[in-house]
Amino acid sequence: MNYNDLFNIISDKSRVKLGKDIDDKYLSDGLNRDKGEADALVFAVNTEEVSSVMKLAYENSIPVTPRGAGTGVVGATIPTKGGIILDVSLMKNILELDENTLTLTVEAGVLLTEIQKFVEEKELFYPPDPGEKNASIGGNISTNAGGMRAVKYGVTRDYIMGIEVVLADGSVLNLGGKVIKNSSGLDIKDLMIGSEGTLGIITKATLKLIPKPKKSISALIPFNSLKEGIDTVIKIIKKNANPTAIEFMEKEVIEDAEKFLKLKFTCDEGKAYLLLTFDGDEEFEIESNYNKVKEVAKESNALDFILLDKKEDIERTWKIRGALVTAVEAVSEQKPVDIVVPIDKSAEFIEYTKIAEREFGIKIASFGHAGDGNVHLCVIRNDMEEKQWNENSKMILKALYRKGKELNGLPSGEHGIGLHKKPYFIDVTDKINVEYMRRIKKAFDEKGILNAGKSYSV
C-alpha cells in the first residue's frame, strides 16, 4: 500500500504522519516503556474519516491500532504489526444532553474528566469513576473500566445506552440507543464493550446519567493488619450500609504517595486502611449508613473510625489514594496487576501475595477496590538487574494469575488484557473460551487487522 493515499482521505495534511515523523509517544501506552512500530499515524476528526481509513486499510490488509488518550497500562495501544495508528483523540465533541431521557451523547475522544465536569454543573451525575480521569470515554468503554464507585453504582457497561462503531471493513454500526430495555436479538453493543478495539472502533456513545447526589462524605478506618481490614469489608456489605466506595491501602505505599505529593495522610495509626465514601440526598440516610460501618469497625478491632466531613480532608485523602501507582512509578519500575476475585476471597489472595514476595524475592504493593474484589498490585523492580527482573517478574506474575484462577477470579477487573497480560490471560483461560472469542473476532474482522495480537487475538 502507498500510505500517501491517506492524504486523499484526510483533508488537513497535518493530521497524517508517516514513518519517522511519528512521535514515539504514539508508539507506546500510558507507561511509556515498550514501543512498537507503525507506518502511519492518522488523527481522525469524525466517523466518516474513521470509516474511510478502515476501508482503505481493509482493502489492502493493513493492520490498524486504535488509540484514544493513550492512558492505558497494558499495551493495548502499542502497534505490534506496523500499519496504521488510528487516533480518535480529536473527536471530542459533546453532542447532546437530553434531560428528558437523562442521557449524554459524546464522541469517543471526550475525556472522562470533561464528562464529569459537564454533567455535574447541571446537577447530573455519570457514576463510573476509574482512577485515570484523563482517559477518553472510548477507552473506558473499550476496557469496560470500573473504578472506585463500582461497589454502589456498577461499571462502565452499566451506563452505556448506545454506541456508534466502525468495523474493520469500514462499515458503521449504531447499537442500542436511549431505550432502557432491549430484548431485540443479540446485543452486539455488549460485545463491543470491553473488546479493546479488536472488534471495532467506537466513535460515539450515549451515556446514562442519574441525578447528582446532594451530599458526599468519607471515612477512614485504620487497622493493625491488612487482613483485618479486608475481613471487615464483607461485614460492611452484609450490614447494608450502601457505601459508594470501599478502598483498601497499605501504609507502606501510602508513605510513598505522601513523599511524592508532599502531603500528610490523615492518620498515623495502623498498617492498613479502609477508605470509604457515602453519598445521597438525605443527611439522615448518610449518617445512618456511616454509623453502621462505625459499629462494624468497632466490632472488628479497628484502631479508629475517622469521619472526613471537611472538603479539604476528603480531597487530600483521596488525592493520596489516587496517586499510589504514580508514587510507586516515581521510585521504581513496576508491573501493574488488577486481578479480580470473589469478595470473600480477597483476603486469601492478598495473603498469597506476601508468600509470593518471599518466594520470588520481589516486592509487591497492594491496594484496590475492596468492595468488589478488584485487587491492584504493583510488582516492583527496585534495584534488580534487568535479566533477573525479566525472568523473575514473569514467574511471579504467572503465579499470581494462577492463584487468581484458583480462587475463581479473573485476570483483569478494569485495565483490560492488551499486550502485556495476554500470555497470562491465555494461560488461565479455558481454551474453548479463547477459541470462541477468536471465532467472534473473525465474524467481525475476517482479515484480523484490528488491534491484531492483543488480548485473545492472534
Indicate if 224 and 207 belong to the same structural domain.
Answer: no
Read off the CATH number of the domain in which 307 is found: 3.30.70.2190
Answer whether residue 13 is part of any domain.
yes
Q: Which of 79, 77, 203 is nearest to 138 (CA)?
A: 203
Q: What nine digits make up the cell of 348?
A: 486469601
| CATH label of the domain that carries residue 183 | 3.30.465.10
Same domain, 254 and 276: yes
Residues 80 and 109 in one domain: no
Task: Verify that 118 and 149 share a domain, yes or no.
Answer: yes
Write down the pLDDT at residue 270. Answer: 96
Residues contacting 21, CB < 8 A, separation 6+: none
Whole-number pLDDT of residue 172: 98
pLDDT by position in tens, the chain (length 458)? 789 999 999 989 999 999 999 999 999 999 999 999 999 999 999 999 999 999 999 999 999 999 999 999 999 999 999 999 999 999 999 999 999 999 999 999 999 999 999 999 999 999 999 989 999 999 999 999 999 999 999 999 999 999 999 999 999 999 999 999 889 999 999 999 999 999 999 999 999 999 999 999 999 999 999 999 999 999 999 999 999 999 999 999 999 999 999 999 999 999 999 999 999 999 999 999 999 999 999 999 999 999 998 899 999 999 999 999 999 999 999 999 999 999 999 999 999 999 999 999 999 999 999 999 999 999 999 999 999 999 999 999 999 999 999 999 999 999 999 999 999 999 999 999 999 999 999 999 999 999 999 999 99
Of 270, 302, 324, the residue at which a domain comes to its end is 324
Rounded to an integer, what distance in angstroms lies between the CA atom of residue 374 and that of residue 341? 7
The answer for residues whose C-beta is within 8 angstroms of residue 387's C-beta and 6 or more apart is none
Handedness of CA 335, 411, 173, 178 (dihedral sign): negative
Give domain status of residue 59, yes or no.
Answer: yes
Which residues share a beta bridge with 365?
Answer: 378
The domain in which residue 271 lies consists of 215-324
Domain endpoint, select from 39, 65, 87: 87
- Same-domain check for residues 238 and 205: no
- Output the pTM of the full model: 0.95
β partners of residue 247: 275, 369
CATH code at position 53: 3.30.43.10
Kindly report the number of other CB atoms within 10 A of residue 287's CB atom: 14
| Residue 355, domain member (yes or no) | yes
Is 343 found in the same domain as 317? no
Kindly state whether residues 103 and 207 are assigned to the same domain: yes
Answer whether residue 256 is part of any domain: yes
Are the beta carbons of 319 and 261 closer than 8 angstroms? yes
Query: Which residues neighbour 61 within 8 Å (Cβ) at sequence distance 6 or greater?
Result: 447, 449
| Cell numbers given for 168 | 474493520
Domain limit, last residue, from 324, 354, 386: 324
Determine contact, residues 146/413, Cβ cutoff 8 Å.
yes
List the alpha helices (DSSP H) in 239-269: 251-261
Residue 429 lies in a domain: no
Q: How many domains does the chain have?
A: 4
Asked whether 2 and 84 are in contact (CB, 8 A), the reply is: no
The three three-digit cell numbers of residue 306, written as one number = 475517622
Whether 342 is covered by a domain: the verdict is yes
Residues 109 and 197 in one domain: yes
User: What are 125's strand-pairing partners?
Assistant: 210
DSSP state of 133: T
Structural domain includes residue 252: yes
Both 117 and 161 in one domain: the answer is yes
* CATH assignment of the domain containing 376: 3.30.70.2740
- The reported pLDDT for the residue numbered 1 is 79
Q: Is residue 431 part of a domain?
A: no
**What is the C-alpha to C-alpha distance for residues 82 and 409, in angstroms, rounded to an integer?**
34
Residues 81 and 116 in one domain: no
**Whole-number pLDDT of residue 325:** 92
**Closest of 60, 135, 53 to residue 86, by C-alpha:** 53
**DSSP calls for 305-371:** -EEE-SHHHHHHHHHHHHTHHHHHHHHS-EEEEEEE--GGGHHHHHHHHHHHHHHHT-EEEEEEEGG
Same domain, 311 and 219: yes
Question: Based on the domain organization, do 120 and 72 belong to the same domain?
Answer: no
- pLDDT for 355 equals 96
* pLDDT value, residue 431: 98
pLDDT value of residue 348: 95
Whole-number pLDDT of residue 271: 95
